[in-house]
Amino acid sequence: MTTHTFTLTVSCADQSGLIAAITGCIAQSGGNILNLAQHTATDIGMFFCRASFAGTDTFTEERFSTAFSAVADSFRMDWQFFDNNKKKRVAVLVSKTSHCLYELLLKHADDELDCDIPVIISNHPDLAHIATSFHIPFFQVDTKKGKEAYEADLNAILDQYQIDLVVLARYMQVMSASFCERWDKKLINIHHGFLPAFKGAKPYHQAWQKGVKIIGATGHFATEDLDQGPIIYQDIIRIADTCSVDEFIRMGKDVERRVLVEAVRRYLAHSIFMHDGRTFVIE
């Protein structure tokens, strides 16, 4: 029998006794803590904590929720509670470029992404064969019917597959404010530039023009402000001035796919806390 495990995340203003209160409540409810990560952001006086624990025989979700609600109220905590047996359902949106899609599918196939990927959606037919070879339903949406109608189609598919998280894997469409709002904090994009530099189109061309010596990619929550949403993960690669823009693009692909997977992995691990427009990723 596999152990049934749960994850609790807490954020609140910093104050005395937080960790003892959290760990005490878990213990008294019959939970054995497996892993606890905690950070106090002294610059802003905020406390963030994630605890994973196994439920013993006496543990029930209802009892714990009741008990922890009282603790949370007394400390004015924001908290979330996850049953780790319930896998998140992730939809991948793509256009014509395959490297990010392949990366997600291969990591998933190797049991390195703890989620289900029940559907792949695209505005082009080009990558259908990849979906097929991984036995995942593929839908092509028609952006020409107008943003509102097309996004309604998109939402219908996402709802049908009971999607928890939408991943834009080099999906070359700007999402509307209402779509971003609907999927607030559940919509991860990969931008092929080191944000906040090089927002918008053709970031590798921008980087080449500027003569930077290092290029990067950024995994972030998509918001209505293009390429401005909260950053989840970034990575870089050093480039030589002997590289052409085409070589930037080639070398950048490895960074993009790695960054996207790492961003999704942190989401699935409940490691991402939000405060005042930025993330605090606590590992």
Residues that bind a copy of itself (CB under 8 A): 16-20, 23-24, 26-27, 32-36, 38-43, 56, 98-99, 102, 106, 110, 112, 133, 194-198, 208-214, 216, 230-231, 233-236, 240-242, 244-245, 250, 253-254, 258, 277-283
Residue closer to a copy of itself (CB basis): 47 or 139: 47
Residue linked to tokens 């922890």? 68
Residue in this structure with the two tokens 């470029």, named with its chain if needed: 97
Nearer to a copy of itself, 40 or 176 (CB): 40
The whole-angstrom separation of Cα 212 and Cα 197 is 11
Q: Alpha helix (H) ranges present in 113-241?
A: 128-133, 147-160, 177-182, 203-210
* Pairing outcome for strands 165-168 and 88-94: parallel
Q: Which of 225, 227, 241, 276 is catalytic?
A: 227
Rounded CA gap, 113 and 169, in Å? 15
- Indicate if 246 belongs to the active site: no
Q: What is the dihedral of CA 279, 280, 282, 283, to 10 degrees?
A: 50
- Shortest distance in whole angstroms from residue 175 CB to a copy of itself: 21
Distance CA 161, CA 105 (A): 17
Q: Which CB sits closer to a copy of itself, 126 or 153? A: 126
Q: Which is nearer to a copy of itself, 106 or 136 (CB)?
A: 106
- The CB-of-264 to a copy of itself minimum distance in angstroms stands at 15
Residues annotated catalytic, as ranges: 227
